[in-house]
Each structure stands twice: as C-alpha cells, then as structure tokens.
C-alpha cells in the first residue's frame, strides 16, 4: 500500500472520528469538520466534497441518534411532521444540486455564509444566555403542526442543496421554538438530519458526485466518534455546548470564505 494512500486513510479516519464526536456531542452532522477536511486536506472540488461529506454524515447522525435514543433523550412520534417536511424539502433541493455544482466558488461562499450566521447565533446564545422557555418534561417536541412543518423544511434545504448539516438550524429551533430540552433537541436534530442525509446522499450518489473510495474510513470514524460523543454529552452544560458550536462554525466560515 503506497505510503501517501495510507496517510490519507489515517487522515480521513481521524477526521471522521472527530466529526462523529462533535456530532454525538452537539447534535450536528459533523460536516463542520468533514467539509474543510475534504476540501483542503484531500483537495476535492466543492461539489465532490459536499456529496462525499453528506454520505459520511449519514453514518454520524444515524449512530448519534441511536445512542441518544438508547440514553432516553429521543421521542420519535412528535417529530414525524418535522421528518416528513424535511424529507420533502431535501428531495426538492437535492434535485437542484447539479445546477449549483458547476459553480464551485458559489458553493464555498454559500456555505461560508450559512456557517457565519449559525456561528453568530450560537456565540450570542452562549455568551448572553436568555432564560429558557418551559420545556416538556417528557422531552417531546411542542409547537403546532405548522411550526413543525416549517422547522422540517428549513432543515431539509441545506442537506439537499449544499450537502451540509442543519444542526445549527434544528437544535436552536427545537430548543427555542418547539420548547424541547437541549439534550432532547440534539437527539431530535440528529434523527431528522439522518433522514435528510440519507435522501441527499442517495441523490448525490446517483448524480455521480460521491467519491466512494473515501467513504469507508470516514464512515468508520464517524460511527465510532458519534457513539463516544453521545456518551459524554451529558457532561457539558448548554452554554458550553453553544459556545463550542459557535467557535467551530466560525472557523469553517472563515476558511471557506477565503477559498470562495
């Protein structure tokens, strides 16, 4: 096995492990690690990086959501409207991915913009926490059917169009709009994103953008990391989680903006 190839495998596994750890810890897909890894570590073009990332992220979210379910943080039935709306939005915007894929600089700048918005929101909430709204002791999502539908659609756009995660959207929406406890919000985010990632990955695989040989080390790393992240999740306060959220998104935003 060539030494350079072996080093790439180790790099991808380590990146997947880190992405899975953050996914299980924060309720996100881990794309904040995988996108810069694939763009700058492996030097993939934006479309291939996004498509390969979303395949690996599926394993992160699947493993993380299972671990949260096992820990009792996840109630599936109240999230069905979010799942259905998110799936429909992901299908629609996945079909539009090929149009954006030929404009690599646009993709980098679009992702940088999204990460910057999410970073600002999370840092603000972490530095200046506001009083938490009453949350359901049963960890179920509150809110109306329309509210859940809106959250689902918002959570399906980015996986379909850019191949990136929506934890920065779903976690705050579940926490502040649907009045879920932070741990339950993270668990719900992982579940919904897992469904959206599966749909998006299937589209991008059929469209020919996924670099399949990079998926196994990424997927193995993300699965192991997601389990570890979910296990240590309870040791972090909500404020700490939000600050960590904001910092990692800020880094990725700056790097992608400079590239785009």
Phi and psi dihedrals of 56, rounded to 5? -65, -40
Which of the two residues, 151 and 4, has the higher pLDDT score?
151
Res 25: pLDDT = 67
Sign of CA dihedral 215, 221, 225, 227: positive
Assigned token pair, 244: 């960590």
CA atoms 37, 40, 44, 50: torsion sign: positive
Look at residue 2 in the predicted model and tell me its pLDDT: 61
- DSSP letters along 30-70, please? SHHHHHHIIIIIS---HHHHHHHHHHHHHHHHHHHHHHHHH
Per the structure, how many domains does the chain have?
1
Choose between 36 and 239: higher pLDDT: 36
Q: Residue 98 pLDDT > 70, yes or no? A: yes
**Rounded Cα distance, 127 and 109, in Å:** 27
User: Is pLDDT larger for residue 7 or for residue 167?
Assistant: 7
The pLDDT of residue 187: 83
pLDDT of residue 171: 78
Q: Give the 3-state secondary structure percentages of the chain, helix then strand then coil, rounded to 5.
A: 80, 0, 20
pLDDT for 3 equals: 61
For 128, the domain range is 3-259
Who has greater pLDDT, 65 or 140? 65
Please enumerate in sequence order all residues whose Cβ is within 8 A of that of 220, keeping only pairs 6 or more positions apart, or say none: 13, 16
Query: Percent of the chain scored above 70 by pLDDT?
Result: 82
Tell me if 100 sits within 8 A of 209, measured CB to CB: no
- Does residue 69 surpass a pLDDT of 70? yes
CB neighbourhood size of 5 (10 A): 10
> pLDDT tens digits for 166-194?
666 787 788 878 878 877 888 888 888 88
> What is the spatial distance between Cα 161 and Cα 154, in angstroms, rounded to a whole number?
12
- pLDDT at residue 135 tops 50: no
pLDDT of 196 reads: 92
């Amino acid at each position: 096995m060539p030494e350079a190839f072996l080093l790439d495998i180790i790099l991808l596994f380590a990146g997947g492990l880190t992405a899975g750890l953050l996914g299980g810890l924060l309720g996100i897909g881990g794309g904040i690690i995988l996108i810069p890894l694939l763009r700058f570590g492996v030097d993939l073009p934006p479309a291939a990086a996004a498509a390969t990332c979303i395949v690996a992220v599926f394993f992160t979210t699947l493993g993380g959501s299972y671990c949260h379910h096992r820990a009792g943080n996840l109630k599936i039935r109240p999230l069905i409207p979010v799942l259905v709306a998110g799936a429909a939005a992901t299908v629609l915007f996945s079909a539009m991915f090929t149009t954006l894929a030929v404009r690599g600089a646009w993709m980098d700048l679009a992702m940088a913009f999204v990460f910057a918005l999410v970073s600002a929101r999370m840092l603000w909430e972490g530095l200046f926490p506001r009083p938490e709204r009453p949350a359901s002791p049963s960890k179920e999502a509150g809110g109306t059917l329309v509210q859940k539908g809106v959250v689902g659609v918002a959570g399906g756009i980015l996986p379909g169009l850019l191949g990136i995660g929506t934890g920065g959207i779903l976690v705050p929406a579940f926490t502040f709009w649907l009045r879920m406890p932070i741990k339950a919000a993270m668990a719900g985010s992982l579940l919904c994103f897992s469904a959206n990632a599966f749909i998006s990955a299937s589209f991008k695989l059929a469209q020919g953008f996924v670099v399949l040989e990079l998926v196994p080390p990424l997927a193995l790393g993300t699965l192991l990391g997601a389990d570890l992240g979910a296990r240590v999740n309870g040791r972090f306060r909500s404020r700490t989680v939000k600050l960590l959220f904001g910092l990692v998104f800020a880094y990725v935003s700056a790097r992608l903006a400079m590239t785009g």
